[in-house]
Amino acid sequence: MSTAATALVPALREVVGPLGLLDDAADTAPYAEDWRRLYRGRTPAVVRPANIAELAEVVRRCAAAGVGMVPQGGNTSMVAGATPAADGSQIVISLARINRLRDIDPIDMTMTVEAGMTLKAAQDAAAACGCMLPLSIAAEGTAQIGGVLATNAGGNTTVRFGNARDLVLGIEAVMADGAVLSALRRLRKDNTGYCLRQLLVGSEGTLGIISAAVLKLVPAMAEREVALCTVASPEAALALFGRLRREDPAALIAFEYMAGEGMGLVLRHIPGAVLPVAAAAHYALIELATPRRAAGLRAVLEDTLSAAMEAGAVRDAVIAESGAQRAALWKLREEHAEAQRREGASVKNDVSVPVSRVPEFLARARAACEALVPGVRVVPFGHMGDGNIHFNLAQPDGADGAAFLAQSHAIMAAVGAVVRALDGSFSAEHGVGRLKPYMMESWRGGTELATMRQIKQALDPRGVMNPGKVLPDAGGA
Ligand code: FAD
Ligand code: 2HG
Ligand code: ZN
């Protein structure tokens, strides 16, 4: 263990009290491993401040001692963004206890939420006021507002409401030296210099610690329709997306693609998962919703699916008849990540391409991976309406997991070559974290990366905020 971080523990305990600090190895271990179990770090302490004053003092003390800090929310990062380094030189700062709803205003259509509140709790608070917080991810029961903003999470409704970034009006954050940035304005218009809140959103804990935010709400949905269909091909799925968007673009709030392989894993590993349509190679999950009453979404969906069936694009379809059925259909999609985790080793490519190029991407990336790793199981799924596919690969049947994972970089490079050829991005929504800084030079080099480094240098000159994440050789990990 590093002396600087370990030596600081008594001073940090003084700030947060005995209940606010964990330093027993058994207690800190869950905070030191990432959700995918790719990285196991070590930390002398997990600090859990109870309020902003404690948080700011903890940051001040770490900064003064030059000790690296790893902000952590629900620890659901897919890129090990919240995992401390293995050498024990970094303190984990958990936001879990700073979790109040400070304000909710159905006229302004905003809520002011502290970073440690889970996304699900924030959604529920909005619903209790007749509003909706329009951000939804499978990890919403665990992921926290601070983490969701720090990663600029996307998810199932980005196609209609945008990413987390699009929902943020104001922010409060503790900067790298412990100064508190208070910009919790709930203004729809506010052109007053650089937009610092947007700098912090998506910065993955490398510029400061988000402690609260003002989020935009929308009116609660009055009508909701969810359908699962099997489609002839990714091209057919894209055509169906186009048809639905033409019919009622404001009502199309989710359009998700799943390949047969992934659906098979969900049915195998997830208790209670039932497929209500004939098994197929390609599936689309659609949600239409609107705050308008008697909007006739059911007819829109039925007519569109019938037309697509006649055209041969859709083969089979089921429309949910109740809230329970809607949840059961969504479960088939949302459990994809967990089912793949249970299946064993998996290499993830959270990539985006222009929406129009998704079918070409799927075909070319599959061919590239099958040529590279004979027998590999290709398990693509994701937010097709955003051009964001989780192009995941499961180890060949019977293969050794560790040997498969050793090929991760080669597989990611093969997929990346296709993504690049199609003008896409190597990280659509999960971020860069600890897994992908090595890709930054080749994908975002030149002026883009140089400017990012200048921002980092200006806001965190000692490199204490989440060292080793996002920027290559930022120090630490
Ligand atoms: P953590 O994992 O704790 O942290 C993530 C990053 O944010 C780290 O770099 C951390 O240092 C930083 N951070 C955390 N809190 C703060 C803070 N208060 N201030 C500054 N930095 C902070 N992502 C999507 O975009 N779309 C999806 O559909 C989606 N689905 C998922 C499904 C599953 C099952 C899982 C496990 C993950 C999924 N994710 C998805 C990944 C996604 O990034 C996280 O779920 C979520 O955004 C992270 O929130 P968290 O609180 O768990 O953050
Ligand atoms: C999702 O959309 C998440 O379910 C997880 O972003 C993706 O497991 C993955 O690769
Ligand atoms: Zn996703």
Which of 219, 251, 275 delimits the end of a domain?
A: 219
Pocket test for ligand 1, best of 47, 52, 58, 77 (most atoms within 8 A of CB): 77
Pocket test for ligand 2, best of 159, 343, 381 (most atoms within 8 A of CB): 381
Residue 330: which CATH number?
3.30.70.2190
Per-residue pLDDT band at 473 (split at 50, 70, 90): confident
Do 166 and 228 fall within a single domain?
Answer: no
Residue 141: which CATH number?
3.30.465.10
The pLDDT value given to residue 475: 41
Do 190 and 107 fall within a single domain?
Answer: yes
Residue 248, pLDDT > 80, answer yes
Per-residue pLDDT band at 87 (split at 50, 70, 90): very high
Taking residue 86's Cβ as centre, other Cβ atoms within 10 Å add up to: 14
Q: Phi first, then psi: give them for residue 12, nearest 5 degrees.
A: -70, -35
Which of 87, 79, 84 shows the shortest CA–CA distance to 28?
84
- Nearest CA, atom 10, ligand 1: 82
Ligand 3 centroid – CA 132 distance (Å): 20
Which of 246, 321, 323, 318 shows the shortest CA–CA distance to 286?
318
Residue 1, pLDDT > 60, answer no
Do 128 and 214 fall within a single domain?
Answer: yes
- Nearest CA, atom 35, ligand 1: 139
Q: What is the mean predicted confidence (pLDDT) over 299-316?
A: 96
Pocket test for ligand 2, best of 430, 435, 436 (most atoms within 8 A of CB): 430
What percent of the chain lies above the pLDDT cut of 90?
98
**Does residue 125 fall inside a structural domain?**
yes
**Does residue 465 fall inside a structural domain?**
no
- Pocket of ligand 1 contains residue 168 by CB under 6 Å: no
Which of 190, 218, 184 shows the shortest CA–CA distance to 108?
218
**Does residue 7 fall inside a structural domain?**
yes
Do 171 and 235 fall within a single domain?
Answer: no
Q: What is the mean predicted confidence (pLDDT) over 119-139?
A: 98
Do 273 and 291 fall within a single domain?
Answer: yes
The pLDDT value given to residue 238: 98
- Pocket of ligand 1 contains residue 234 by CB under 6 Å: no
- Pocket of ligand 1 contains residue 429 by CB under 6 Å: yes
**Does residue 392 fall inside a structural domain?**
yes
Do 108 and 69 fall within a single domain?
Answer: no
The pLDDT value given to residue 477: 37
Ligand 2 centroid – CA 140 distance (Å): 12
Residue 244, pLDDT > 70, answer yes
Which of 314, 336, 358 delimits the end of a domain?
A: 336
Cα–Cα distance list, 309 to 243, 276, 313, 316 (Å): 12, 17, 6, 8
The pLDDT value given to residue 3: 84
The pLDDT value given to residue 476: 36
> For 349-404, how does the pLDDT look when each residue is reduced to its tens digit (9 = 90+)?
999 999 999 999 999 999 999 999 999 999 999 999 999 999 999 999 999 999 99
Of 86-100, 222-236, 321-335, 392-406, the range with the lowest mean pLDDT is 392-406
- Nearest CA, atom 6, ligand 2: 155
Ligand 3 centroid – CA 381 distance (Å): 8
Per-residue pLDDT band at 309 (split at 50, 70, 90): very high
How high does pLDDT run on average in the chain?
97
Which of 37, 63, 94 delimits the end of a domain?
A: 94
**Which residues fall within 8 angstroms of residue 82, CB to CB, at 6 or more apart?**
34, 70, 71, 72, 73, 75, 92, 147, 205, 433
- Pocket of ligand 1 contains residue 49 by CB under 6 Å: no
Atom of ligand 1 nearest to the CA of 77: 2
**Does residue 260 fall inside a structural domain?**
yes
**Does residue 277 fall inside a structural domain?**
yes
- Pocket of ligand 1 contains residue 176 by CB under 6 Å: no
Residue 359: which CATH number?
3.30.70.2740
Atom of ligand 1 nearest to the CA of 466: 11
Pocket test for ligand 2, best of 336, 383, 391 (most atoms within 8 A of CB): 336
Q: What is the mean predicted confidence (pLDDT) over 227-244?
A: 98
**Does residue 444 fall inside a structural domain?**
no
Do 215 and 309 fall within a single domain?
Answer: no
Do 291 and 277 fall within a single domain?
Answer: yes
- Pocket of ligand 2 contains residue 138 by CB under 6 Å: yes
Do 243 and 280 fall within a single domain?
Answer: yes
Letter for the amino acid at 109? M
Whose atoms come closest to the Cα of 149: which ligand? 1
Q: Phi first, then psi: give them for residue 16, nearest 5 degrees.
A: -105, -5
Whose atoms come closest to the Cα of 157: which ligand? 1
Please tell me the total count of domains within the chain: 4
Q: What is the DSSP string of 25-67?
A: HHHHGGGGB-TTS--B---S-EE--SSHHHHHHHHHHHHHHT-
Pocket test for ligand 1, best of 59, 72, 266 (most atoms within 8 A of CB): 72
Do 164 and 59 fall within a single domain?
Answer: no
**Does residue 464 fall inside a structural domain?**
no
> For 277-286, how does the pLDDT look when each residue is reduced to its tens digit (9 = 90+)?
999 999 999 9
Residue 83: which CATH number?
3.30.43.10
pTM, to two decimals:
0.97
Atom of ligand 1 nearest to the CA of 137: 28
Domain that holds residue 369: 345-421
- Pocket of ligand 1 contains residue 205 by CB under 6 Å: yes
